[in-house]
Structure 1
Amino acid sequence: MFGGLAKSIFGSSNDRYVKSLNPVLAKIAGFEPSLQAMSDEELAGQTVKFRARLDQGEKLDALLPEAYATVREAARRVLGQRHYDVQMIGGIVLHRGEIAEMRTGEGKTLVATLATYLNALPGEGVHVITVNDYLAARDADWMGQVYRFLGMTVGVIIPNLTDEQRRAAYNADITYGTNNEFGFDYLRDNMKYERTQMVQRPFAMAIVDEVDSVLIDEARTPLIISGPTDDKSELYMRVDAIVKQLVDKDYELDEKQKSITLTEDGTERAERLLEAAGILEGANLYDFENTQVVHHLNQSLRANKMFKRDTDYIVKDGKVIIIDEFTGRMMDGRRWSDGLHQAVEAKEGVEIEPENQTMASITFQNYFRMYPKLAGMTGTAATEAAEFYDIYKMNVVTIPTNVPVQRIDEEDEFYKDTQDKFRAIAKKIGEHAAKGQPVLVGTVSIEKSELLSEFLNQEGVEHKVLNARYHEMEAHIVAQAGRKSAVTIATNMAGRGTDIQLGGNLEFRMLDEHPELVAGTPEYDAAAERIRAEIIQEKKDVLASGGLFVLGTERHESRRIDNQLRGRSGRQGDPGLSRFYLSLDDDLLRIFGPDTLFAKMMRNNIEDGEAIGSKWLSKAIETAQKKVEARNYDIRKQVVEYDDVMNDQRKVIYEQRADIMDAETVGDVVTDMRAETVNAIVGEACPVGSYPEQWDVEGMKTQLVEVLNLDMPVDAWLEEEAIDPEIVEERVREAADAAIATKAADLEPETWTQVEKSILLQNLDHHWKEHLATLDALRQVVHLRAYAQKTPINEYKQEAFMLFQRMLDNIRTDVTRTLAYAQFQMQPSVDLPQLPDFITTHFDPFTGEDNSNDIDAGTLGLVQSQLPPLQIARPEPTDLGDNPEHWEGRVNRNSPCPCGSGLKYKHCHGSVTA
């Protein structure tokens, strides 16, 4: 009560914050007259003056009023658009590293120019992140006019650019692109072998458009770069055939948790079917040797029983294409990981493409937290304000609209079932379209949009459907959704980018009605003038009929998505109307809604076709949505927790790669690695405090040959009275160093450095890739530790740290072994390997990283293992002879080839093609 009274008197904290920016607005307005008096050349020259002032030590905050006034004047001259005061407030909020929540249609694209220009003045680069490639290219060209007028360079990152084009775009003052492209470029850069091959430069600032979509919706899944593995198509098809024989009682499906498990009877039935098909080894499905079969069975269950065609994916041109659940767009080229996509392909009977192995990955949370300054803007962020602060330390500031909103948001209407609901919707749409009012209908899936389309056909209502099937016509359909009596069905309106202009869009009408005319010709101008007059008249008719009517056929599990749909109506003070139609069959109510008294009352007391509406029911829906939002937040938070476990490890590996690439010589690193390897070998064979007769001399000699390519007279040393492990270690180290020095003397110093760098980087990358796969497997099973009363995340942290230490030990040993066995021929130069074309994905559960382990990010050779020396597997005997035919089956495929090439056996004489 008292809080409400205080708010009515003093305003909310958000209102007070916005009001506190008025003095800055006054300063900006004070510069306007003098800037308007400048010529174009003088106005463009402001950038040089600002940069000179920065060089003299002035801060960006001090430049803000004059810089913002300069951008406002430049936009007025170049675009014919002058920033409103509320847009200037949005620009100030962005510069402060906060989130500006501005309603749809308030001009967020123009707002971004203010903070982008100011923060690009130091020359460190500003990244402007959009949700799709179309918007990135459009905004870079459209807003780029302002930046170029003021003497700044603008780049855009879109798919299929060469490294040279990407490098040029990143070196520009301002770079536009999608979150995926920026993230994948970061990962690809950290897989390259020379600094000159990298395209990005150090991060400075990022401004994220549709920040809720990028940092919240897409943050549940990481960016993954992967490469193909062995083909298992036949196994997927055989398991799929078995899963299709299972019935409902054989499994338990939990839609709320999105999980599916076999029942006891289902397990027995699956075992019998798998055994009959010759897939199962032994009688028990959960025997160790059937681990892969269980994995395939689980993925096939998910594909067949949880993933729905035309909702989660569509089949087009013989391929399974994922549908983004938030935007309804086709995610062409993207694939689910961990065999799920292959299971769906088997289900649909299309060609099965090989699985992929993760080579690099990062979550959006950890990617964007690398920017020293991060800001964002969207129409819907307030509902996720707590998460933005918890994860990114960003406050949400709600910016008032330029003109008061006149849209009327009506109460939801409830029906008994889907048929009644869609019949009522079709009738309501027909009524509004008949009086000339445009109607935008939001559905949650392709299936629902096509079902509604059938009802509208029965009513005789002309309409257009916008969903993933008709992706190519998207911009044209959306642009004309505001025409008189237009009815448009859209699967989702988030991030569509194209404005819905009441009366229609001149540019798109010209493209649709007169594609043969060329802009600038008398014929084009005459047609454009005629259409412009029609649009003006249509807009008057549409305004008179009440503006755009937004009709939601179902509540989304997130309130933000509903608000995005509503926000399409009532832009810039236009009249508008919105209403949602619901039924007990809707997924939100069916899965998350109250399923006792409420459901019984609805079922028993509502006649067929009857509708009810009340604030109480709307409140119940909002409560259900809050539950789902909280659950989704927990999922994202868990992703971050596990990803944080690996984040320190990723930083160590990537920093070490950078150190190796930047170093003039890496001899010290390699020498330290060799010394540690010798220490581990001797330490294992000659434990501290033991007598010489207790040493494992034969094991040490074998290790010295296998790892260091040294045949040392260890037996003779034992006869010396004063022999101890330190003396043995010193002698072995000196011999190893001498052997490498001899090899290095045969090559030019620059060539030897290049060889060492190449071997270091290749071993680093190989073991990091294997480490990711191991962590991924650990991530999937660590939750079972909860049965032992242990906290899974803590167990994961401990295991991941030990695995990381083990990986460093393995890198050290492999680098030492490779150099010891390598044979070189004189060549003009040593070319570093080229990166192949990787598969980039942003779908699937993730592995992890952790900020709690303070691992030293120094040179690899200096990272001391805190574990006891590992028991290294005993190598094969070395008396193999000179005939490669006798080596098969006697040489481990991962050991150095006995021919002395320095390659692993499987890549040399043991390869299939050898």
Structure 2
Amino acid sequence: MMNVFMKSIFGSSNDRYVKSIGKVVNQINALEPQIQALSDAELQAQTDKFRSQIDNGATLDDILPEAFATIREASVRVLGMRHFDVQMVGGVVLHRGEIAEMKTGEGKTLVATLATYLNAIEGKGVHVVTVNDYLAKRDAEWMGRLHTWMGLTVGVIVPNLNEQQRREAYNADITYGTNNEFGFDYLRDNMKHERSQMVQRPFNHAIIDEVDSILIDEARTPLIISGPTEDKTDLYVTIDKVVKDFVAEQRAREKAAGGTLPEGEAFFETDEKSRTVSLTEEGAEEIEQRLAASGLLETDNLYDVENTQVVHHLNEGLRANLMFKLDDNYIVKDDKVIIIDEFTGRMMEGRRWSNGLHQAVEAKEGVKIEPENQTMASITFQNYFRMYPKLSGMTGTAATEAAEFWDIYKMNVVEIPTNVPVSRIDEEDEFYKNTQDKFRAIAKSIREKNEIGQPVLVGTVSIEKSELLSEFLNQEGVKHEVLNARFHEREAHIVAQAGRLGAVTIATNMAGRGTDIQLGGNVEFRIEDELSEMEEGPKREMEVERIKAEVAEEKRKVLEAGGLFVLGTERHESRRIDNQLRGRSGRQGDPGLSRFYLCLEDDLLRIFGPDTLFARMMNSNLEDGEAIGSKWLSKAIETAQKKVEARNYEVRKQVVEYDDVMNDQRKVIYEQRAEIMDSEAVEDVVVDMRSDAINAIVGEACPPGSYPEQWDVAGLKSRIEEVFGLTPPIEQWLEEDQIEPEIIEERIQAAADAEMEAKAQGTDPSIWRQIEKSVLLERLDFHWKEHLATLDALRQVIWMRGLAQKQPINEYKREAFGLFESMLDKLREDVSGILVKAQLRMPEPQPAALPDLPDFLTGHIDPLTGFDNSDDGDGSAQRAALFGALAGSTRADAGPGGMADNPYADMEINRNAPCPCGSGNKYKHCHGAAR
């Protein structure tokens, strides 16, 4: 109560902050007459003037008032739009790295030009991030006219650009694109072998449109680049046999017991809701014995880190056999497992479950097992966008997630007042017993509004609900449009006209993002739709005037009918999504109405459960078709939404916690790659690696403080020969008095150094430097890829540590650190061994060429369901190897990564022709890589 009283007197902290920005707006307005007096050329020259001031030590804050006044005047001349004062406030908020919450219709796209122009003056680049390609292209073209007029360069990142086009777009002062494109380009850049191949430049400032959608809704699913793994068919088949025998044993026990087994006797427990299978203590011991008997375990303990991959595939095998049913979750067609969409019942051709689940189902059904796609690079949106020194965003709904924005991104949410007070009426929710009653009431209400000409925008939570409502409207004889988010551009044109007289538009929650609904219709969209093929001239001008007059008359009639009626068919699990839908109505002070219809069968209301007081009250007090409305019920729904929001936040927070562990390692690897690419020579790194590798091998065979008779001499000789191909006379050295491990290490080091020096002296120095660099980068990428696969598998099974009263995230951190150290040890041995043992054949000196990067698969994989949210498909065709050979005629025959002998060396085969071996790869990426 005291807080309410204090706010009524002093205003909220948000109000006070916005008021303080008003002083800056006053400075901008004071400069307007001076800026308006400039000619076009003088106005355009302001950009060079600002850049000169920055070069002379001025800050962006110093030039902000004049720069904002300049771009506002330029907008008037180029776009015919003048920024309102509240839009100036939004521009300041964006410049300060905060989130501007602005209601629908307040002109967020235009607001972004203020901060974009100011921050682009430095020449370090500004990224404007949108939710889909259509909006990226639209905004780059629309607002790009303003920026290019002011002397700035504008680029846009969309799919299917080549690398040169991407590089040019990123080098522009302002770059528009989607969150997925920016993220995937970052990952691909860090798989390149030369700095010149990279397309992005250092991060500076990102402005995110629909920031809640990108940083909240999509933040649970990391971006993943994947490629094919080695063939694991035998592993899948063996595990499937073990699992089937294991399950059959429990089924036999259950049959003998006449039903459910007593506590302590079952091997496993299943959870239908989450589709998970958990082993009991007895089951873990039993499966451990079976896996050991099959030769699949590297150690005796099932849950040792060495067995992580096997345990991961075991879990997927159990899920495939127990939780996924033929002709229910999938079908087998043409010797392939095809997923069935659980909501639509349709086949999902080309889609595959991830993390080895699809392969486990294929093994279960005895069909051909397609190669699993292995993660080669991944990053969450949280960790990607936190790399920008300055990050800001704008949306119509962010206040309900303010705590998360601050916790994860350290971004403050500022509510920007509307230019004109909102006059929309938000009515109480209506509750019904079941879906049929609810949809009949909705259809009836829509028909009534349609008869008086009031436009109706209906928001649904799924395509299926949209189609169901469409059937009810057809019965009522109401003409309507049904939309979803499959075709952004077409959808934007239709949603833009949702405010026309008598229009009824049904759209999913994704529909129409970034599109402004204007009462009476949108003049620009109508001109584009109706007059796109008409040539310029008096006739076209007459048609334009006709359209403007029709829109004005329609707007008058719609205003009389009460403005846009927004109808929600159920509450979303997030209040933010509901507010987005409501915000479509009441634009710029227009009248409007909003109402939500709910029933006990809605997904959200099922949170209360069928046996709660709420459900019993609804069932006992409501007749069929009867509705009730109550503030108490609306409050109860809001409480349920808050609980779901809190749960979803915990899910996203957990994703960040686990990715933070990988992110620390990712930074180390990517920084190391950058240093290698920027170095002229990596000889010092190679020498240090060789020294560390020898030190580790000798230290393992000759532990500190031990006696010579305790040393593993045979093991030491074997390891040195295995890794370096050297056979030092260690037995002779041991005959010397006072021989120490350090002396053995020095002598082995000297032998390896001599071998390397001999190779280097017989090779052109520039070629040898390139070989060292290429081997180092290739093996670094290889071991990082393998490390990511291990971490993926570890994350899938680490929750089991909770059964032992251990914190899974802490266990994950500990294991991941150990695995990273182990990966670095393997890398040192691998690089040192390849270079020492490499046999070089040099017909003629030439620099080693770098390998082409294959066409990687990109995905936006949900870690909870395993589904790919990017609509990229999964596919499993073989791709070219990341590193076929060192290059051209330079070849390392021995050691990991070397190519086998080429049986087609004497044949005249075009390098771009298919390889005769039948791999499906081009000859230059297969056997031809060794020529």
Shift of 1:302: 6.4
Cα offsets for 1:780-823 (capped at 9, x unmatched):
11111122221111111111111110000000000011101111
Say if 2:387 is the partner of 1:382: no
2:99: which partner in 1? 99
Secondary structure in 1 aligned to 2:218? helix
Residue 834 of structure 1 is matched in structure 2 by: 852
Moved more, 836-845 or 340-349: 340-349
Q: Is it true that 1:404 corresponds to 2:396 in the alignment?
A: no
Mapping 1:484-503, distance limit 5 Å: 484-493=501-510, 496-503=513-520
Structure 2 SS opposite 1:65: helix
Match for 2:627 among 586, 591, 611? 611
Q: Which amino acid aligns with 1:175?
A: T
The one-letter code sitting in structure 1 at the alignment partner of 2:893 is S
Q: Which residue of 2 aligns with 1:746?
A: 762
Question: Is residue 355 of structure 1 aligned with residue 372 of structure 2?
Answer: yes
Partner Cα distance (2:585, 2:828) in 1 = 62
- What code does the residue aligned with 1:464 have? E
- The 10-residue stretch of structure 1 (422-431 or 49-58) with the greater mean CA deviation from structure 2: 49-58
Query: In the alignment, what sits opposite 1:226?
Result: 226
Counterpart for residue 85 of structure 1: 85
Q: 1:322 to 1:392 in 2, by over 3 A?
A: farther
Given the alignment, which residue of 604, 623, 641 partners 2:639? 623
Amino acid at match of 1:713: P
- In the TM superposition, 1:329-348 aligns within 5 A as 337-339=354-356
Match of 1:155 in 2: 155
C-alpha spacing 1:352/1:820, structure 2 compared with 1 (3 Å): closer
Q: Deviations over 1:811-856 (max 9, x none)?
A: 0000011101111123311011111111111113299xxxxxxxxx
- Cα distance in 2 for partners of 1:34, 1:333 equals 61
Is residue 56 of structure 1 aligned with residue 56 of structure 2?
Answer: yes
Gap change, CA 1:664 and 1:829, over 3 Å in 2 = same
CA contact (8 A) 1:336 1:843 kept: no
Distance 1:489 1:815 in 2: 60
Aligned residues: 831
Does the 8 Å contact 1:334/1:840 carry over to 2?
no
TM-score (norm 2): 0.83
Give, in angstroms, the shift of residue 292 of structure 1. 3.3
* Post-superposition offset of 1:747: 1.5
1:484–1:503 Cα contact (<8 Å) kept = yes
| Counterpart in the other structure of 1:452 | 469
Distance 1:555 1:137, change over 3 A: same
Q: Per-residue CA shift, 1:98-117, capped at 9, x if unaligned?
A: 11000011000111111111
Map of 1:665 onto structure 2: 681
Deviation at 1:636, TM superposition (A): 0.8
1:365 shift after superposition: 0.8
Paired residues of 1:131 and 1:495 also in contact (CA < 8 A): no
Structure 1 residues 233, 468: CA separation in 2 closer, same or farther (over 3 Å shift)? farther
**Corresponding residue number in structure 2 for 1:843:** 861
Rate the CA distance shift 1:451–1:787 in 2: closer, same or farther, 3 A: same
Question: Aligned residue for 1:132?
Answer: 132
Q: Amino acid of the residue matched to residue 670 of structure 1?
A: V
Partner of 2:923: none
1:295 aligns to 2:316 (yes or no): yes
Q: CA deviation at 1:467?
A: 1.9
Distance in 1 between the 2:897 and 2:366 partners?
A: 39
**C-alpha distance in 2 between matches for 1:183 and 1:803:** 26
Which 10-residue stretch deviates more, 465-474 or 479-488? Answer: 465-474
What is the DSSP-based 3-state SS (H/G/I as helix, E as strand, rest coil) of the residue aligned with 2:515? coil
Task: Give the structure 2 partner of residue 435 of structure 1.
Answer: 452
Contact 2:756 2:836 in 1 (8 A): yes
Superposition deviation, residue 345 in structure 1: 11
Name the residue aligned to 1:29.
29
Structure 2 residue identity aligned to 1:355: E
Q: Tell me which moved more, 674-683 or 606-615.
A: 674-683
* Structure 2 SS opposite 1:496: coil
Q: Deviations over 1:369-409 (max 9, x none)?
A: 11111111110000000001111111100000001111110
Match in the other structure for 1:902: 894
Alpha-carbon separation, structure 2, partners of 1:773 and 1:539: 58
1:416 aligns with 2:437: no
Partner secondary structure for residue 143 of structure 1:
helix
- 8 A contact 2:271–2:277 mirrored in 1: yes
> Which residue identity is paired with 1:298?
R
Structure 2 distance, partners of 1:721, 1:53, is 75
Letter in 2 for 1:761: L
Shift of 1:518: 2.7
Q: Are residues 1:716 and 2:737 paired?
A: no
SS across alignment from 2:604: helix
Whole-Å Cα distance in 1 between the matches of residues 153 and 10 of structure 2?
45
Residue by residue, what CA displacement relative to the aligned partner does 1:671-701 show, whole Å, maximum 9, x if unpaired? 0111111111222222223333332222222
Take 2:476 and 2:367, find their aligned partners in 1: how far apart are those partners? 37
**Residue equivalent to 2:334:** none
State the shift of 1:637 in Å: 0.8
Shift of 1:355: 3.2
SS in 2 for 1:587: coil
The alignment partner of 2:458 has SS state of: strand
Q: C-alpha separation between the residues in 2 aligned to 1:185 and 1:193?
A: 14
CA distance in 1 between partners of 2:700 and 2:593 (Å)? 77
Shift of 1:751: 0.9
Which aligned pairs between 1:707-786 and structure 2 lie closer than 5 A? Answer: 707-786=723-802
The residue number in structure 2 matching 1:479 is 496
Rate the CA distance shift 1:751–1:166 in 2: closer, same or farther, 3 A: same
Distance 2:329 2:404 in 1: 30
CA RMSD, 1 decimal: 3.7
Report if the CA contact (8 A) 1:558-1:629 is conserved. yes
- The residue number in structure 1 matching 2:120 is 120
Contact 2:488 2:512 in 1 (8 A): no
Instruction: Describe the shift of the 1:64–1:301 C-alpha distance in structure 2 as closer, same or farther (beyond 3 A).
Output: farther
How far apart, CA to CA, are the structure 2 residues paired with 1:476 and 1:151?
A: 31
Post-superposition offset of 1:710: 1.2
1:676 aligns with 2:676: no
| Structure 1: 5+ residue stretches without partners | 272-279, 310-317, 848-898
Change (3 A) 1:341 1:215: farther
- 2:314 & 2:46 partners in 1: Cα distance? 67
Structure 2: stretches of 5+ with no match in the other structure: 252-258, 261-267, 288-295, 331-336, 866-890, 904-916, 920-926
- Matches of 2:349 and 2:524, distance apart in 1: 28
Alpha-carbon distance change, 580 to 32 in structure 1, aligned in 2, over 3 angstroms: same
CA distance in 1, matches of 2:328, 2:14: 42
646-655 vs 687-696, greater mean Cα deviation: 687-696
Give the deviation of 1:300 after TM superposition: 7.5
